[in-house]
A and B are shown apart, each in its own frame.
Chain A
């Protein structure tokens, strides 16, 4: 289903802009995507007590290494949260150290190219720079790409959406072989918490529509559109209050935790629990599970817990 939608969109997009390259990328049978997630040892990996890069290394090892998700010659898009013009200490954006490590590992698995972007809320150049993520991406040899104008986004239909029937999605998501979603766990005035599903608001253009048409429902709807190949939830520094932008460093606590899963509902449910909120109190988690995006029933899943 996802794959079919993806193919269709890819072809639609390639005709739209008249470039063959996109169509070709989308048409090549992608064995990696077909294979993954069925052969994983755990549904969720939770790591605590280490530095972001170390926690990711340990966590992904438990899942069989990054090679399970990234194959030689593939084009990878990494989508951290880079929404705000705040310093890394404010924990408004994904931890830059984590981003560097993820990109490095993608390259070591043979990725052809690793690209990073976000449709930021604050001014994009300042967000990229002051979040430390632009430097983090360059450090690892990746490319940071703009997402600041509507021209980068192309219409797709969200077939399983209830309120949200279509959206405009960034072309990198449409073109890339592997999509790695790297949200940061934060409090959020509108969505209660922002985690993996909420982070996908940064790959679409018109967020106003979502806010107008029941935010929680739209978040759940869009989660049905495209399953990221991997979700990595950064909970090293966590903004407990005044999110998602925060007012000062005083909003932030150090939890030194990291979650990894291919299931957005699972990882968001676990993230909520880590934050101290019942997952079912967050309506978009409840709705996404109802719409078969994934499962929030953590007690029925195989979870690898790692303490460092």
Chain B
């Protein structure tokens, strides 16, 4: 096959596409002033593989199209997704590029990819996924890790920078740019993001795209698909002068320049090798060639099987609710995470959320906060409603609109307004009206449905609960001024229920203009 000099431009195309896609995804996560329309945000992340896969289980539409697109793309051109659309891939490429600038001698020589481990691990992750246990997926899924790095590390810094800039630039706050309260994330989420970031930076400086060919579940699936892809990079034997430059530039360690082979299943499609060849000897040809096949290893299979069944079992365990009678109802309620509206049920949410924290970034009230292990180990870092930070805005449906995995279903405003996330409990003995014999009413004031209503209590007014109207938004709990325990709090529904809409008496709206002033 003849050389294709024009193929050299593929590298520039890759840099352009990956930069654009990585910047766009990053922008969605650091949009602290919510300037990007949510329809655009959800389009930007729509092509992310695992979210699209998960969302395809529950909805018909964009997600399946996106999934189909990525699969077809891979079947045609190999793992170009890994170098063009994966934000974590681009992050690694940036690290590799910076590393190469600093250490000019740096190269990642060919190494045989350990497909046995790679595919077994991928299989394990997917067994977990189909069994509804996302722990491995969430720890290694590239897009969600990228999301957590940006939202846990970059976003808070940007908020601090924004606030400092607003203070420094304006003597008084008339600039029209708001300061933003910094409400999270907690130390565990920050630590986890730091650990992952440090790991991925170290790994890419040391071994290029090793993560993508060892631990990445998306890489695993796409690697399998790329084995039968139509276009593959290969060394043209007639042109090769054995200079080894292609191997030297390869970040995926997939070019064996000595034996003139390119391992397409490990190639991430960066196209650097094509430009590196002084003889234009790298082809990107329409050709089918099977890679080395794996020998079966029954022992390994058994280990895998037991591991996966353990994981399936742990799903059930982690969802178990502490029923110990010794634990006060309040503390018990506080231990259970409250699933965002559209999350349907704790189980559904936990089985579909990859903890990318996009909803956390998009939530205008910041009531959505990353959890640690409130959903159990299987649901590590999945977002929950945190009523100490804020409460869920009655008319807001943004989290469902933006969720890329279908963990939070999009709700119409009228559906959202009757979606009951939990029910309230009122403890009169803790209420200001009872303890101080003074009026308060903060709960009633904030309640959007009047599930909390003030009723006469001697000369005072006392909250009264009607849970059939409660949506569990947490407004009453957030506003309740009692310490250390709130006198009114939400206990989550394991499965979201439907609230009733309060029938209000129609007041005569027109005859209210006073005939005479009553003073």
Contacts and interface: CB of A to CB of B under 8 A. Distances in A.
Contact of B504 (A191, A215, A250, A253): A250
Which of B163, B393, B441, B519 neighbours the largest number of chain A CB atoms within 10 Å of its CB?
B519
Interface in A146-198: 146, 148-152, 171-172, 175, 188-191
Contacts of B481: 208-209, 211-212
Contacts of A270: 517, 519
Nearest to A122: B393
A149 B178 contact: yes
A77 B406 CA distance: 45
Interface in B53-103: none
Nearest to B33: A125
B186 interface: no
B388 interface: no
B511 to A, nearest CB: 8
A19 interface: yes
Interface string B29-40: 000001000000
A190 B447 CA distance: 12
Interface string A73-86: 00000000000010
A215 B440 contact: yes
Contacts of A273: 517-519
Interface string A36-51: 0000000000101100
Interface string B484-519: 000000000000000000101111111011100111
Nearest to A49: B513
Contacts of A144: 176
B446 A245 contact: yes
A115 B174 CA distance: 8
A148 B183 CA distance: 13
Interface stretch (B165-173, B287-295, B323-331): B165-173
Contact of A151 (B163, B436, B479, B508): B163
Contacts of A190: 439-442, 444-445, 454, 461
Interface residues of B, number: 54
Given A126-B393, A190-B441, A211-B432, A251 B507 contact: yes
Contacts of A291: none
A150 B453 contact: no
A108 interface: no
Interface stretch (A1-9, A63-71, A222-230, A234-242): A234-242
B179 A211 contact: no
B448 interface: yes
Given A125-B364, A189-B453, A254 B519 contact: no
Interface residues of A, number: 69
Contacts of A188: 441, 445
Given A123-B364, A247-B502, A256-B513, A145 B174 contact: yes
A49 B436 CA distance: 43
A152 B179 contact: yes
A143 B174 contact: yes
B508 A113 contact: no
B77 to A, nearest CB: 43
A22 B172 contact: yes
A269 B510 CA distance: 24
B458 to A, nearest CB: 13
Interface of A: 17, 19, 21-22, 46, 48-49, 85, 113, 115, 121-126, 130, 143-146, 148-152, 171-172, 175, 188-191, 207-209, 211-217, 238, 240-242, 244-245, 247-248, 250-257, 269-270, 273-274, 276, 283, 298-299, 303, 305
Q: Nearest 6 A-B pairs (CB), nearest first?
A: A190-B441, A189-B444, A253-B512, A146-B178, A211-B481, A208-B481
30 contacts: A17-B167, A19-B171, A22-B171, A22-B172, A46-B517, A49-B513, A85-B393, A121-B446, A122-B393, A125-B34, A126-B396, A143-B174, A148-B181, A149-B180, A152-B173, A172-B172, A189-B453, A190-B444, A190-B461, A211-B481, A212-B436, A215-B441, A241-B507, A247-B504, A250-B504, A250-B505, A253-B508, A254-B510, A274-B517, A283-B439
Given A144-B176, A152-B173, A244-B445, 11 more contacts: A21-B172, A123-B364, A123-B393, A148-B178, A171-B172, A172-B172, A208-B481, A211-B442, A212-B436, A215-B438, A215-B439
